[in-house]
Amino acid sequence: MDFLMGNIWLWGPITAVVIAAVITVNALVSVYLERKVSAWMQNRLGPMENGPQGIFQTLIDAVKLILKEDIIARGIDRPLFKMAPYIVFGASFAVFAVTPLAEGVSPADLDVGVFYVLAISSFVAVGIMMAGWSSNNKWSLYGALRGVAQAVSYEVPLSLAVLTVVMAAGSMSLQTVCVEQGGGFWNWNGLALHKNPFLVGSFLIYFIASLAEVNRTPFDLPEAESELVGGYHTEYSGMRFALFFLAEYANMLAAGILASVLFLGGWQPLLPALDFVPGPLWLFGKAYFFVVLQIWIRMTLPRLRVDQLMYVCWKVLVPGALAMLVLGGLWQLMIKG
Amino acid sequence: MHMESRELFLHGSRVPDTGPDGELMTLNMGPQHPSTHGVLRLELKTDGEEVAHIRPHIGYLHRCFEKYCEKLTPPQIVPYTDRMDYLGSMNNNLGWAVACERMMGLEVPEKVEYMRVIVAELNRIASHLVAIGTFGLDMGALTPYFYCFRDREMILDIFEEICGARLLYNYIWVGGLSHDFLEDTDDKILRFCDHFEKRIDNELNPLLTFNKIFVNRSANVGVMTPEQAWSWGVSGPSLRGSGVDFDLRRDDPYSIYDRFQWKVCVGEGLMGAVGDCWDRHWVKVLEMKESVKIIRQAVASRPKEGDVKEKVPARVKLPAGEIYCRTETPRGELGYYIVSNGGNQPERVKVRPPAFCNLSVIDEISRGALIGDVVAILGSLDIVLGEIDR
Amino acid sequence: MDFAALVQHLRAALPEAVLEEHPEAFSPWILVRREALAELAPLLRDDPALDFNQLMCLSGAHAPGPEGERLWSVLHLYSTRHGHKLGLKVVLDVADPACPSVAGVWATADWHEREAYDMVGITYTGHPDLRRILCPDDWQGHPLRKDYVAPATYNGMPLD
């Protein structure tokens, strides 16, 4: 095992393949979940035809998407247009590299894990801008501009909320953040009122900001299908569109994983007595809880308008996150000393 | 295409290309766009996200209704009226029947009048449900749409039972109706009313109408003053949303609407300025409740005996002359201007579709709005392209 | 005001404007001299005794009558305050289909006049933007004329 872990040339590709598989399977599962959960909420059945309860429907859709013609319209900036999906997908892909799966087990345990996640996920905005600009379509451009403005703005409250956790844990390593929260759910950052009550506020702010980061309702303005047709990926088809799609669902999962690691103990079991259940199950269970929560919110709320989006970010979330940071820091200094 | 008209087609004629901050961008919303509620093209002149002017381009769904009318007899025209406002077909049928009957001086039996009111009001509810559902959809609220369609489905089931069709009914004929109600239709209608009233208060209003984001998106957006509304010929819920207490069912009565107890709902500016998108939405919600009231009264007091076809003339011939007859459809004032020379076919039929006039005001009320607002305004005006283009 | 009083009022205000009156029609109407319409329309809207604030409908029609080919531009007005209605008809010669526009008085006339222009070919003078509305901009002819023959092709596309 040590030999394996120590050899980056062996370990690296294996991890990459595993993560790619996880992302693909996650997209299938999440799309199915989204269709089923939304159907139940809306008095519908959702997919029913292929397989029991239609479980193969998304697989078939994926095959269809791959087999579709890759249309590149005239007037498109080809190199950028072709590159954009890979950048978006690559960024979402790379985030998973630091996921702590269990005690001492993570694909890469970086000392600056939190920083790495925030930095690498910003690349999505670059890809979105490239896609929107190169498409030579005004709707795509609108989507891209909205997407970039949104990603850049919401990164601020998101990072500030994460900083509160980093301050409480005293480390930027996601593994350490997880270890810190051991001993039962009352020690999880998002629930631990006795540890640092301001983390609960940060949790809320983090969750709202992460919705905007992954372009989910009520912050799905970059693709707002009833306003912008399809937003930045209007002109994409076939495999390239599938990559955007994969990235979107990977982002949802990544946001869920990060939320569970930072605020709900990551791989930590609910109660110490339940630690016979493997850590990855806990982690993914919690992450999918957040995915379902995102779906639920999407089915409940309408979409914000552009100016309201910015209002929420700069006038509500940023001051709130700053207050949590300062108060949380003071608490850390005064009470825990 | 001729060069001149090609130029005209692409760039329009009289909308300036420059705004205070320099050049404006032309953005074509439609004809293929998810929120234009059909095949409509809005030519937006935008400055970033802000819209300076809107020029609607219509006619993509033009099916020569008025031309056909000159070749058909009045009963043959009834199915064509279905296809104008396909969400309120019963009301379109009713308008045509009333116009022809007024010209012919035809009295229809009591029973038919009551049944007409019942189906027309049911259709009004069905149409408002689509309007409200799609209005929510335009703003990204997905679930209310399905709830609205579920309730609409109950109405369509009733219609299917009584006339065999779910969308284009051809039910209200000149002088009568095509079929009588079934034995249990009254019960079904009453059951729907019981079910539906609860749904409005328990589901639709909490989920959509009073949702904070929905209110923020629709209040103070697309404000239309009563003066603008009158000048642009806006009618129906859009007119009442501006606080004008005017409803043809009460103020220019036709059929037997004067026998029922109900009130005209107007926008009061509960969430913002009077006449904003939220008010137009709210009027529709209230109107559905009023329609339920009318339906209950009509079902309770309607005569059950008699044939619905006894007064249908064997040969409908409009006497020479001309009439302008208007009725209140879910979207507003539907007028038929009929010129007849006493022959089998009308000489000229001109339709005044409510959505045609309601859409024409959009440029005036969306100056300075954002692109997201334009979608909301269009949704709140509740247009059906089938009747705009005819 | 009933129809007779309305006509009387109008004749008093603008003696030259009203040519004929038809109280016997299903929707009573008056025949208006074309040249007088531009003057009559603001009066109809702004005179407090008339107060026609709504132009219900504006229709164009092509009517081959006994006196030859004629085009009609028909206005139906309604006053919400007084509750009275009035039909106005302007009869035009096919050779000279110019009619004053009332779009400056009732804004809704804008689109209705465009439709009348498109369908029967009445050219409204003073209209802000007289283009075709239902047919494509380069359509030939006016479909609701009685003598209209549908073209076989449109821009090279066969129409059948």
Q: Whose structure tokens read 């609860």?
A: B198
- Closest chain C residue by Cα to residue B332: C56
> C93 - beta bridge partners?
C70, C96
Q: Pinpoint the alpha helices (H) of chain A.
A: 2-6, 8-41, 57-67, 78-95, 113-121, 123-134, 138-169, 174-180, 198-213, 225-228, 238-263, 279-300, 306-311, 318-334
Tell if the CB–CB gap between A303 and B370 is shorter than 8 Å.
no
Provide, rounded to the nearest whole percent, the portion of chain B with pLDDT above 90: 30
Checking if the pLDDT of B127 tops 90, the result is yes
Checking if the pLDDT of A62 tops 50, the result is yes
Interface test with A, best of B213, B373, B374 (most A CBs within 10 A): B213
In a domain, A16, yes or no: no
| Mean pLDDT for chain A overall | 85
Residue in A99, A16, A41, A32 with CA at minimum distance from that of residue A296: A41
Checking if the pLDDT of A318 tops 90, the result is yes
In a domain, A47, yes or no: no
In a domain, A24, yes or no: no
What range defines the domain where residue A161 resides?
74-336
As a whole number, mean pLDDT of residues B285-299 equals 92
The domains of chain C are located at 3-158
Interface test with C, best of B232, B324, B326, B363 (most C CBs within 10 A): B324
Distance from CA of B63 to the nearest CA of C (A): 10
As a whole number of angstroms, the distance between CA A103 and CA B379 comes to 53
Q: Whose structure tokens read 């790379």?
A: A94
- What is the structure's pLDDT at B6? 42
Checking if the pLDDT of B308 tops 90, the result is no
Residue B73 CB coordination number (10 Å): 17
| pLDDT per position as a tens digit, B90-124 | 999 999 999 999 888 888 888 899 999 999 999 99
Residue with the larger pLDDT of the pair B311 and A83: A83
- What is the structure's pLDDT at B4? 44
As a whole number of angstroms, the distance between CA B313 and CA B316 comes to 6
In a domain, A13, yes or no: no
As a whole number of angstroms, the distance between CA C77 and CA C87 comes to 6
Residue B183 CB coordination number (10 Å): 8
Checking if the pLDDT of B12 tops 60, the result is no
CB of B135 within 8 Å of a chain A CB? The answer is no
The count of residues in chain C is: 160
Contact C127, C113 (CB under 8 A): yes
- Closest chain A residue by Cα to residue B25: A138
Checking if the pLDDT of B9 tops 60, the result is no
Distance from CA of C15 to the nearest CA of B (A): 26
Superfamily of domain C3-158: NADH:ubiquinone oxidoreductase Nqo5 subunit (3.30.460.80)
Beta strand pairing call for C123-125 and C98-100: parallel
- What is the structure's pLDDT at A19? 82
Residue in B213, B122, B218 with CA at minimum distance from that of residue B163: B122
In a domain, A283, yes or no: yes
Checking if the pLDDT of B8 tops 50, the result is no
As a whole number, mean pLDDT of residues B290-300 equals 91
Checking if the pLDDT of B285 tops 80, the result is yes
As a whole number of angstroms, the distance between CA C112 and CA A157 comes to 53
- What is the structure's pLDDT at B19? 61
**Tally of domains within chain A:** 1
* A224 to A139, A209, B343, B374, C139: CA distances (angstroms): 10, 18, 54, 14, 36
* B349 to A19, A30, B75, B263, C27: CA distances (angstroms): 68, 55, 14, 32, 14
Complete domains list, chain B, with CATH: 76-321 (1.10.645.10)
- If you write DSSP's letter for every residue of C17-83 in order, what string do you get? TEEEEETTSSS-EEEE-GGGHHHHHHHHHH-TTT---EEEEEEEEEEEETTEEEEEEEEEEE-TTT-
First to last CA, chain B: 25
As a whole number of angstroms, the distance between CA A140 and CA A152 comes to 18
Residue in B247, A179, B61 with CA at minimum distance from that of residue C133: B61
Checking if the pLDDT of B129 tops 90, the result is yes
- What is the structure's pLDDT at C66? 67
In a domain, A307, yes or no: yes
Distance from CA of C109 to the nearest CA of B (A): 8
- What is the structure's pLDDT at B315? 83
pTM of the model: 0.88
As a whole number, mean pLDDT of residues B76-89 equals 90
As a whole number of angstroms, the distance between CA B33 and CA A226 comes to 8
Q: Is the dihedral of CA B109, B115, B121, B123 positive or negative?
A: negative
In a domain, A20, yes or no: no
Tell if the CB–CB gap between A226 and B150 is shorter than 8 Å.
no
A306: which chain B residues are within 8 Å (Cβ-Cβ)? 49, 370-372
Checking if the pLDDT of B253 tops 70, the result is yes
3-class SS shares of chain B: helix, strand, coil, % to 5: 50, 15, 40
- What is the structure's pLDDT at B159? 92
Residue with the larger pLDDT of the pair B328 and B312: B328
Label residue B322 by pLDDT band (50, 70, 90): confident
> C64 - beta bridge partners?
C69
Contact A89, A108 (CB under 8 A): no
Q: Is the dihedral of CA B294, B297, B301, B304 positive or negative?
A: positive
Provide, rounded to the nearest whole percent, the portion of chain B with pLDDT above 70: 94
Listed range (A280-294, B203-217, C12-26) with the worst mean pLDDT: C12-26
Contact A85, A236 (CB under 8 A): yes
- Closest chain A residue by Cα to residue B140: A302
In the DSSP assignment, the letter for residue B107 is P
User: Which residues of chain C are under the pLDDT cut of 50?
Assistant: none
- What is the structure's pLDDT at B3? 40
Q: Chain A interface residues facing chain B, Cβ-Cβ under 8 Å?
A: 38, 41-44, 138-139, 142, 217-218, 220-221, 224-229, 298-308
Token digits of residue A67:
């087999």
Distance from CA of A155 to the nearest CA of B (A): 22
| pLDDT per position as a tens digit, A225-275 | 777 777 888 888 888 888 888 888 888 888 899 899 888 888 888 887 777
- What is the structure's pLDDT at B15? 53
- If you write DSSP's letter for every residue of B254-323 in order, what string do you get? -TTGGGS---------SSSSTTSHHHHHHHHHHHHHHHHHHHHHHHHH----S-TTTT--SS--PPSEEE
State the Rg of chain A over Cα: 20
In a domain, A237, yes or no: yes
Residue in C148, C144, C150, C147 with CA at minimum distance from that of residue C132: C144
Checking if the pLDDT of B7 tops 60, the result is no
Q: Which 3-state string (H, E, C) describes C92-105?
A: EECCECEEECCCCC
